[in-house]
Amino acid sequence: MNQNNMQYDDYDDDYYDSQEQNNQKKQNKGCASTFVYLITILLISIVLSLVAIFVANDVFALVKDDKDIILEVPQNTKISKLSGELDKKDVVNYGLIFKIFLLVTDKDGEVLAGSYKLSPSMDYAQIARSLRNTDTQDTVTVTIPEGYTIAQIKQTLIEKGVCSEDDLNEALNNYPFKHEFLEDKLPPSQNWLEGYLFPDTYTFYKDGDAVKDVINKMLNNFDNRFDENIINGAEELGISIEEAVIIASLIEREAKVAEEFSMISGVIHNRLNSSKFPYLEIDASLLYGLGRTSGELTKKDLETDTPYNTYLHKGLPPTPICNPGYNALYAATHPDEHDYYFYVAMPDGSHLFASTNSKHEQNKEKAKEAFAEAANSDS
């Protein structure tokens, strides 16, 4: 009897050992399946995010070529029927998405036969409006040069017929644009967007775009161009986005030769980190505080106390003094390493750099002589 029980117990142990092994295998398979599932979800999320970025760029024309494309439209044609042709001519990148946009926004309709001038830099709404409007010349191309101030940008948009002065002032000074890089600057105030209206060539619908959409397009462009290279450079230097843009605006207004952007950036950073030369003494900043963008500075100007007078106030001015381009933004966050604290302009736009005040005085004499020679040769 005892022997039989012993045999039965042994058999029972083998059985449960086998069950445990099977359960362990199932558990391992379950873990592997979960891991594969999570990886699959992650990959799908990444793909969908990339698709969303590309589609958003196409819908809002954030970063696209600015070129004229002529589209010939036959009789009795709806906009939705042109999506394939628009895709083929690279006016849009996703014809199907354009069709869906027309359906959702109720912008489809008959197009008069004729030739239409379009551009990839136009967003979907602008394309639809252009095709439904009998006057195909209602789009306007506007170039905003690097270093323009908000005042200069406003004047350009007004002269091109994009917006009225009242609408521009209202939007620029009071509309709370929702961009992450502007969060610390809210609520809106006078010229609070200075530095962030990215200089570029834009296509707008004359007297048709909402003013906030015009401004948003420039802000979106800034957001896209302020890339990882600039962000990482700012982090390594220990400066904020606002400080990077302020420094870039100073470089944009001071430098005339592209090769000197990083050198002038180095001078600015050297002075910001110096107890011996704590004042930037940048003429462009002083001029901005005086409401000017050019001209000779007088003794009275140098003594005028504004927040932008970097001869009287240490450190950076309170805001950017213009809207800098990519090269200036990059230079602001990637300064050359040198021991220069001074520079003086030459007639050709280049500068002479110096580490000491005595050397700087010598350079000033050289620059003075060079300007005198240039004036004599012109007369």
CA atoms within a 13 Å half-sphere pointing along the CA-CB vector of 361: 3
The per-residue b/e assignment along 302-339, b for 16 or more CB within 10 angstroms, e otherwise, is eebebebbbbebeebbebbbbbbbbbbbbbbbbbbeee
AA identity, residue 294: S
Whose structure tokens read 């050019």? 294
Angle, CA of 305, 307 and 310, to the nearest 5°: 80
| Side chain identity at residue 288, one-letter code | Y
For residue 359, what pLDDT band results from cuts at 50, 70 and 90? Answer: very high
Q: Would you list the domain boundaries of the chain?
A: 57-135, 138-223, 228-337, 339-379
Note the pLDDT tens digit of each residue in 314-342.
999 999 999 999 999 999 999 999 999 99
Res 193 pLDDT > 60: yes
Calculate mean pLDDT across residues 118-125.
86
- Residue 134 has which token pair? 């009998």
79-98 per-position pLDDT tens digit: 888 888 898 888 888 888 88
Cβ neighbours, 10 Å, residue 295? 10
* pLDDT confidence of residue 48: 65
Count of CA atoms in the C-beta half-sphere (13 A) of 2: 0
For residue 174, the 8-state DSSP code is: H
Residue found by looking up tokens 């990083």 in the block: 262
**Please, are residues 306 and 291 in contact by the beta-carbon 8 Å criterion?**
no
What gap in Å lies between CA 347 and CA 262, rounded to an integer? 20
- Per-residue pLDDT averaged across 12-38, rounded? 60
* 14/62 Cα distance (integer angstroms): 69
Residue carrying structure tokens 């027309």:
102
Q: Reduced to 3 states, what is the DSSP secondary structure of residue 353? A: strand
37-41, 62-66, 336-340 — which one is most confidently predicted on average? 336-340
Q: Residues 195-220: what's their mean pLDDT?
A: 87
- In sequence order, which residues have a C-beta less than 8 Å from that of residue 82 and are 6 or more positions away? 71, 73, 111, 131
The β-bridge relationship of strands 201-205 and 139-143 is antiparallel
Segment 44-51 shows an average pLDDT of 68
Q: Across residues 207-230, what is the average pLDDT? A: 89
CATH of 57-135, one of 3.40.50.300, 3.40.50.460, 3.30.1490.480, 3.10.105.10: 3.30.1490.480
C-alpha angle with apex 48: 42 to 54, nearest 5 degrees? 140
- Helix (H) / strand (E) element for 365: namely helix 357-378
* CATH fold of 138-223: Dna Ligase; domain 1 (3.30.1490)
Instruction: Please indicate whether residue 83 or residue 159 has the higher confidence score (pLDDT).
Output: 159
The winner for highest mean pLDDT among 28-42, 60-74, 116-130, 188-202 is 188-202
Q: Average pLDDT for residues 62-86, to the nearest whole number?
A: 77
203 SS3 class: strand
Q: Give one word for 378, left, alpha or beta, with left for phi > 0 and alpha for psi -120 to 50.
A: alpha
Query: Higher model confidence: residue 45 or residue 100?
Result: 100
Provide the pLDDT for residue 72: 79
d(CA 256, CA 246): 17
| Range 129-149 average pLDDT | 79
Structure-token pair, residue 265: 């950036």
By the 8 A CB rule, do 224 and 182 touch?
no
* pLDDT score recorded for residue 75: 73
Q: CA 306, CA 313: separation in Å to the nearest integer?
A: 9
Is a pLDDT exceeding 60 seen at residue 2? no
pLDDT at 63 over 60: no
CB of 157 closer than 8 Å to CB of 142: yes
Same fold, 57-135 and 138-223: yes
Q: The tokens of 152 are what?
A: 């200069």
Highest mean pLDDT: which of 78-82, 125-129, 164-168? 164-168
Check pLDDT > 60 for residue 272. Answer: yes
Angle at 284 between CA 280 and CA 289, to 5 degrees: 95
pLDDT at 10 over 60: no
102-111, 129-138, 314-323, 367-376: lowest mean pLDDT where?
129-138
* Residue 6 banded pLDDT, cuts 50, 70, 90: very low
- Under the banding of pLDDT at 50, 70 and 90, the label for residue 215 is very high
The mean of the pLDDT values for the chain is: 86
| pTM greater than 0.95 | no
* R_g of the chain, CA atoms, integer Å: 31
pLDDT at 78 over 90: no
Residue with tokens 């610390």: 184
